[in-house]
Structure 1
Amino acid sequence: MEHLIVIATCSLNQWALDFEGNLERILESIRIAKEKGATLRVGPELEITGYGCFDHFLEGDTYLHSWEMLGKVLQSEETRNILLDIGMPVAHKNVKYNCRVIIYNGKVLLIRPKLFLANDGNYRELRYFSAWSPARYVEEFHLPRIIRNITGQSTVPIGDAVISTIDTCVGVEMCEELFTPNSPNISMGLDGVEIITNSSGSHHELRKLYRRIEMIKEATLKNGGVYLYANQQGCDGDRLYYDGCALIAVNGQIVAQGSQFSLKDVEVVTATIDIEDVRSYRCISSRGMQAVNTPKYQRIEVPMALSQLQLNKKILIRPTKPIKEFYHTPEQEITMGPACWLWDYLRRSKSSGYFLPLSGGIDSCATATIVHSMCRLIVEAAENGVINDARRIAGETKNSDYIPKDPREFANRVFHTCYMGTENSSKETRERAKNLADAIGSYHIDFNMDDIVTSMQALFKLVTNKVPKFRVHGGSNVENLALQNIQSRLRMVLAYLFAQLMPWVRNRDGSLLVLGSANVDECLRGYLTKYDCSSADINPIGSISKKDLCRFITYARDEFNIPVLDGFLTAIPTAELEPITHDYVQGDEADMGMTYDELSTFGKLRKIERCGPFSMFLKLVHDWGSELNPTQVAEKVKKFFFYYSINRHKMTTLTPSYHAEAYSPDDNRFDLRPFLYNAAWSWQFKKVDSLVIEFEKED
């Protein structure tokens, strides 16, 4: 039985700069791993500091406190007799690295810096860290005095080395390294490394998990071996939600998988593996030919066997069998990901709840339904560690025995909705908002704001002696837009007024966070008023397309048994900012001059496939050629780029949004493009027009 080993990986809900809280969660994961019989435990990337410290990684304090926390881990009796792979930043020779620190029984065995840094999309690791180079290079690291006094060591190896135990060999791979073409796991496996750990800070995006799991399986499919994947889980203080899903793979098959979305702060996944299975799997002649010519890694010897505890028959019976990996549908991902993010944000911001302007349209409906999902998750997890936060946010005292048992009852305590009507609002949207609030249990208020709008118009008339008119009353486009924007911006002001004072009205402490509800397609097109209800504290749907939101609402209608959601699905999207007449009803897609499906396509081509106007036209003239002629395709492409460019400035003030889609136009972290363009795109559009002429000649 000495070839059987229990290994552990974990998902931790770490929080940037929450050193004591992060330490507590690390120690708890080690306790759980040992209780399950594990002799090797790996945690998420930069778990001591939290991954999302950003420019705090440039501060000396961050490194000092990291060593202080590592010292506490080294001194803890709970960390004995288990090989630990822990993440923290390390400064070596005045250069900062993203590192794993391998420790055993109060000693530091190895500091392994990251070789390839994530530096695109949401990630800017090269801003804070340097990549270790070259591969397999190792030198001495001089430990700080605080660690020397604990371990008695002066120096330890730092670099690209592996750990050799009595019975196997363990190597380290870090997050982005898995996604590179020539991943370190290839050369480590060929050099006889049998167990590879991967600590990650990987965020959730819709439909992304499949790629991650396939790459983890692939890492050991050709080469054999055991692969442990650990990930951050939760909101680390920014737009990203790290979606956990710790994994263990053996010889290309998943044997253990953690949850992707959870309110647990600590989740440990273990498996019992037979190391002889790896050795048998690797008995391939062609692999041996490559292995003998592979450059060698320095091995750091540690006098322990990972299989040494396996004589305890109560802990181990048999190796863990392969399982079929599990994936959520995109609708389920929207149900759970933003809901978990909202809960982390709410409990850590010390706010008293959320406030949402509920318009009766599908976007604010989707936001409200996500909050309802949050309340459902809290009720389900009330016995599993979220109870203290739930009691505090619900307004209960420390000695209260309150337990949230009904999502509607809990929502009434923490979720406030408001319908702000005007003379342009319809009876149908008001009723939909009220019915949805009733269905999910939010504390709902309803009022007309015509007097406030009229007073603004009166002020303008007093100052200018001019009276602007809506287009349907003979006004110009400029007047029409200004009159719409008055209503939109006043709603933002009123939302913050009520968010600050509603807890006081209900004899409670604190204030509410205002939720936004602009979807990713509207942001991309700039179809929103700057500083209107799109301006809020956070926005759970700001990176989700209209198409996906509709699918989510359809799913939630059935899963949550909320029949009133049907009315939102069939309603025509409209801002209701212009007067309704017998022959005119304002519609979003008509206003924009393009459909939401077309916007999603434009967004993916612009961001994910990196297309400018010319290359976008070339792709779409073929994709849409069966329905549209080249002139029509060109007009749509040019219209998109015109409105995208004149509205790009709005993205600089965009409400922080849950990141769920790879074509998000969020300027603040993800989509780094100019906000002042030549909206004529003169040369680009000329190229498109010349190609249209050529295509139509051929026809």
Structure 2
Amino acid sequence: MGHLITVATSLNQWALDFEGNLERILQSIRIAKERGATLRVGPELEITGYGCLDHFLEGDTTLHSWEVLAKILESGDTDDILCDIGMPVVHKNVIYNCRVIIYNHKILHIRPKMWMANNGNYRELRYFTPWSKHRQVEDHYLPRFIHAVTGQTKVPFGDAVVSTVDTCIGVELCEELFTPASPHILMGLDGVEIFTNSSGSHHELRKLYTRVELIKEATLKLGGIYLYANQQGCDGDRLYYDGCAMIAVNGKIVAQGSQFSLNDVEVVTATVDLEDVRSHRAISSRSMQAAGAERYHRIEVDFALSGGKFDSVRDLDDIILHDWQLRYHTPEEEIALGPACWLWDYLRRSRTQGYFVPLSGGIDSCATAVIVFSMCRLVAEAAQRKDQQVISDARRIAGLPEDSDYVPSDAREFCNRVFHTCYMGTENSSTETRGRAKELAEAIGSYHTDLNMDTVVTAVRNLFAMVTGTKPRFRVHGGTSAENLALQNIQARLRMVIAYLFAQLLPWVRGRNGGLLVLGSANVDESLRGYLTKYDCSSADINPIGAISKTDLKKFIAYAEGAFELPVLNHFLNATPTAELEPITETYVQADEADMGMTYDELSVFGRLRKVDKCGPYSMFTKLVHQWGSVLSPTQIADKVKLFFFEYARNRHKMTTLTPSYHAEQYSPDDNRFDLRQFLYPSRFPWQFKKIDAVAASLPDRSRMSAAEAKQKMA
């Protein structure tokens, strides 16, 4: 007979929302029991929410975690089911990231995390200390109010495993799966057959494949059952945790949850047979290694995971999954779904009345608007499934009373209630961009306004002339570079001021209360290059595309044209990217790539080499000589690398005020969490650039390709 096991609960937790987090945990346990499960595993730090950051250093956070755990222990929901719960625990005045194993109103074991995530978006060593006493267990003395519930004074704390009547269970926490010496190897050699992994893993484009392969590899050679739980949703910061709870057996995935969802609770179940693990392990070399393995302390519990009853053989056949087809989203689908779910969480939890976007008629603000429309589509789909939580949130956001019978079943209609767009034109704007903005707004249903802001721009320009006695001119009218840049920045910054004015007052104009959140539309490549005005319309409340490349955004728009039935998007794909901040003449039309001195494809390459491959100017040059050597001469490559680092360095200060963005790309330049670098540089890099020039001059020119071939290769 198989063993019905609940992997993972993907929970949409919210940092410091102890009451809401408690209810979602209990609901997941109830669902698990209804399905006949005897083991329930939740995501990392599920009681507090993963993203508490420096709040983990506060004693209140630990106190409230114990109070929530007391409620879980007191509830009848945890009777006759082994539960793995995540929370911070202070042991001997040291804060640990822990899993608490409970059964029938008792705490069996507290297992602290041993290897910490401490790079990229993660700073666990700032809050927690890793448990360094491998295979050692100490007594942990419980708070008095926990003693009143369980009757226990102390419980085992440390690196141990839980032994049931029929099997042995070992705990692995998130990062421990990604380390070279993962704990599951040694636990498996000592007879552990079931591994639980509670995770707080965030979404990044194209990242899921790596996670799935690691989970499969964990039991492919070793044998065993691997239960992976992950948080899902925005818990209060830049990250979207992308769920995808999984069960793997002997290197094969047998169950998989959704990666993107509006559900607050999702439980994944599968029936697995321990005999499959035992037969898989019947290999001589594995047996020899296991015979000499060091022993783990075993915490025994008089309970068997197996022995569940099924209504019929047909029911059992329906549950056992032999050939599970893994689901991967394309990057275009990930852009459509991840930021949209993040925006929904942010909107419903911030208790605001919708979003506002300045539509420029370009592809970036277009992508932002289409992502909001994707959010509205997801809400409509959830409402059609009668998801009462989504329907209730939608009514409140739309300004309707709780007893309203409104159901957001049409995406365009709901979009009109919560999404507001505005085209802010000047004398430098074209009829084409104005027309595209209007067509897009009509296609997705947003509440759209259109204005000319020339009077405001002229007023600021005249104010300067009145005070200084000089009137700045654009370059095409004979002005200097300083005048030209200042006049562009006036327009960009005034758009930010007008955006916030409209965001605060448009609900009032429509007879509603509250305000709107302003969305930014600067992509990751523009931010990396610093091709934006500080405090312009890129300054907003949040930015769903701030860590997505221009190249990926264009692919997303091409995908959405068909998937969302928006033929208007084709007009955006064929338009030349332009800021439209300078006058258009017969001989000059402002274009982004010409202004930047580099293409968006080149920026993506520079960004990955700088951040992911950790290259400085010289090492980036040497790599690109090999990568682009058949396209460009060494001196041309040197010029491009030097220009990038010069512009990056002198604009780095803009990243200190960058709008908080949905994290989606490994080379995000976000100064506040992810990309920790200084913002005052020796921007001409004299030592580095001299070395690049010297090497470039000594190398042969191998470039032989045509311009078209070169562009394709460099992308």
Shorter-chain TM-score: what band?
A: over 0.9
Q: Are the aligned partners of 2:62 and 2:88 in contact in 1 as well (CA < 8 Å)?
A: yes
Match of 1:608 in 2: 612
Match of 1:295 in 2: 294
Q: Identify which of 377, 400, 407 aligns with 1:403.
A: 407
Match of 1:321 in 2: 322
Shift of 1:312: 5.6
Pair 1:693 & 2:697 matched: yes
Match of 1:369 in 2: 370
Q: Hey, what's the Cα distance between the residues in 1 that align with 2:4 and 2:28?
A: 18
Match of 1:93 in 2: 92
Query: CA 1:118 to 1:499, structure 2 compared with 1: closer, same or farther past 3 Å?
Result: same
SS in 1 for 2:172: strand
Shift of 1:694: 1.5
Equivalent runs, 1:654-673 vs 2, <5 Å? 654-673=658-677
Shift of 1:681: 0.3
Quote the sequence identity (%): 72
Q: Hey, what's the Cα distance between the residues in 1 that align with 2:89 and 2:602?
A: 47
SS in 2 for 1:386: helix
Q: Identify which of 633, 640, 643 aligns with 2:637.
A: 633
Match of 2:500 in 1: 496
Q: Hey, what's the Cα distance between the residues in 2 that align with 1:399 and 1:327?
A: 40
Match of 1:517 in 2: 521
Q: Hey, what's the Cα distance between the residues in 1 that align with 2:702 and 2:289?
A: 54
Q: Are the aligned partners of 2:5 and 2:40 in contact in 1 as well (CA < 8 Å)?
A: no
- Note the residue ranges of structure 2 that are not aligned, 5 or more in a row: 704-715
Q: Hey, what's the Cα distance between the residues in 2 that align with 1:47 and 1:477?
A: 54
SS in 1 for 2:10: strand
Q: Hey, what's the Cα distance between the residues in 2 that align with 1:327 and 1:521?
A: 26
- 1:481-500 CA distances to partner (integer Å, 9 max, x unpaired)? 00000000000000000000
Q: Are the aligned partners of 2:7 and 2:245 in contact in 1 as well (CA < 8 Å)?
A: no
Pair 1:150 & 2:149 matched: yes
Shift of 1:8: 3.2
Shift of 1:206: 0.1
Give, as a single letter, the amino acid of the residue that structure 2 aligns with 1:325. L
Q: Are the aligned partners of 1:310 and 1:316 in contact in 2 as well (CA < 8 Å)?
A: no
Q: Hey, what's the Cα distance between the residues in 2 that align with 1:545 and 1:5?
A: 43
Q: Hey, what's the Cα distance between the residues in 2 that align with 1:47 and 1:465?
A: 63
Shift of 1:395: 1.4
Match of 1:390 in 2: 394
Q: Are the aligned partners of 2:549 and 2:604 in contact in 1 as well (CA < 8 Å)?
A: yes
Q: Are the aligned partners of 1:363 and 1:549 in contact in 2 as well (CA < 8 Å)?
A: yes
Query: CA 1:623 to 1:75, structure 2 compared with 1: closer, same or farther past 3 Å?
Result: same
Q: Hey, what's the Cα distance between the residues in 2 that align with 1:108 and 1:78?
A: 15
Match of 2:276 in 1: 277
Q: Are the aligned partners of 1:8 and 1:38 in contact in 2 as well (CA < 8 Å)?
A: no
Q: Hey, what's the Cα distance between the residues in 2 that align with 1:310 and 1:594?
A: 66
- 1:629-651 CA distances to partner (integer Å, 9 max, x unpaired)? 00000000000000000000000
SS in 2 for 1:447: strand
Q: Identify which of 583, 596, 612 aligns with 1:579.
A: 583
Q: Are the aligned partners of 1:7 and 1:273 in contact in 2 as well (CA < 8 Å)?
A: no
Q: Hey, what's the Cα distance between the residues in 1 that align with 2:507 and 2:155?
A: 55
Give, as a single letter, the amino acid of the residue that structure 1 aligns with 2:150. T
Pair 1:224 & 2:228 matched: no
Q: Hey, what's the Cα distance between the residues in 1 that align with 2:613 and 2:594?
A: 27
- 1:337-395 CA distances to partner (integer Å, 9 max, x unpaired)? 00000000000000000000000000000000000000000000011231100000111
- 1:428-485 CA distances to partner (integer Å, 9 max, x unpaired)? 0000000000000000000100000000001000110011110000101000000000
- 1:608-636 CA distances to partner (integer Å, 9 max, x unpaired)? 00000000000001111111000000000
Pair 1:652 & 2:656 matched: yes
Match of 1:198 in 2: 197
Equivalent runs, 1:236-385 vs 2, <5 Å? 236-310=235-309, 313=312, 316-317=316-317, 319-382=320-383, 383-384=386-387, 385=389
Equivalent runs, 1:420-439 vs 2, <5 Å? 420-439=424-443
Q: Hey, what's the Cα distance between the residues in 1 that align with 2:470 and 2:136?
A: 75
Shift of 1:580: 0.2
Q: Hey, what's the Cα distance between the residues in 1 that align with 2:701 and 2:270?
A: 65
Match of 2:711 in 1: none
Pair 1:545 & 2:549 matched: yes
Q: Are the aligned partners of 2:107 and 2:155 in contact in 1 as well (CA < 8 Å)?
A: yes
Q: Are the aligned partners of 2:45 and 2:98 in contact in 1 as well (CA < 8 Å)?
A: yes
Shift of 1:10: 1.1
Q: Are the aligned partners of 1:5 and 1:310 in contact in 2 as well (CA < 8 Å)?
A: no
Give, as a single letter, the amino acid of the residue that structure 2 aligns with 1:588. D
Q: Hey, what's the Cα distance between the residues in 2 that align with 1:622 and 1:6?
A: 51
Match of 1:54 in 2: 53
- 1:204-263 CA distances to partner (integer Å, 9 max, x unpaired)? 000000000000000000000000000000001000000000000000000000000000
Shift of 1:155: 0.5
Shift of 1:698: 9.8
Give, as a single letter, the amino acid of the residue that structure 1 aligns with 2:667. Y
- Paired residue total: 698
Q: Are the aligned partners of 2:172 and 2:184 in contact in 1 as well (CA < 8 Å)?
A: yes
Q: Are the aligned partners of 1:424 and 1:578 in contact in 2 as well (CA < 8 Å)?
A: yes
Shift of 1:287: 0.1
Q: Are the aligned partners of 1:4 and 1:319 in contact in 2 as well (CA < 8 Å)?
A: no
Q: Are the aligned partners of 1:4 and 1:310 in contact in 2 as well (CA < 8 Å)?
A: no
Q: Are the aligned partners of 1:530 and 1:650 in contact in 2 as well (CA < 8 Å)?
A: yes
Q: Hey, what's the Cα distance between the residues in 2 that align with 1:324 and 1:174?
A: 26
Q: Identify which of 462, 475, 481 aligns with 1:477.
A: 481
Q: Are the aligned partners of 2:630 and 2:702 in contact in 1 as well (CA < 8 Å)?
A: no
Q: Hey, what's the Cα distance between the residues in 1 that align with 2:302 and 2:310?
A: 18
Q: Identify which of 455, 458, 462 aligns with 2:462.
A: 458
Shift of 1:292: 1.0
- 1:143-188 CA distances to partner (integer Å, 9 max, x unpaired)? 1111100000001000010000000000000000000001001001
Give, as a single letter, the amino acid of the residue that structure 2 aligns with 1:509. N
Shift of 1:320: 2.7
Shift of 1:311: 6.0
Q: Hey, what's the Cα distance between the residues in 2 that align with 1:450 and 1:311?
A: 73
Q: Are the aligned partners of 2:161 and 2:296 in contact in 1 as well (CA < 8 Å)?
A: yes
Pair 1:131 & 2:130 matched: yes
Query: CA 1:697 to 1:217, structure 2 compared with 1: closer, same or farther past 3 Å?
Result: closer
Stretch of structure 1 that moved more, 314-323 or 248-257:
314-323
SS in 1 for 2:5: strand
Q: Hey, what's the Cα distance between the residues in 2 that align with 1:412 and 1:316?
A: 47
Q: Hey, what's the Cα distance between the residues in 1 that align with 2:44 and 2:587?
A: 59
Shift of 1:310: 3.5
Give, as a single letter, the amino acid of the residue that structure 2 aligns with 1:307. S
TM-score normalised per structure 2? 0.97
Q: Hey, what's the Cα distance between the residues in 1 that align with 2:532 and 2:501?
A: 21
Q: Hey, what's the Cα distance between the residues in 1 that align with 2:278 and 2:358?
A: 61
Shift of 1:52: 0.1
Match of 2:165 in 1: 166
TM-score normalised per structure 1? 0.99
Q: Hey, what's the Cα distance between the residues in 2 that align with 1:155 and 1:691?
A: 66
Give, as a single letter, the amino acid of the residue that structure 1 aligns with 2:353. S
Q: Are the aligned partners of 2:629 and 2:702 in contact in 1 as well (CA < 8 Å)?
A: no
Q: Hey, what's the Cα distance between the residues in 2 that align with 1:74 and 1:271?
A: 25
Give, as a single letter, the amino acid of the residue that structure 1 aligns with 2:154. T
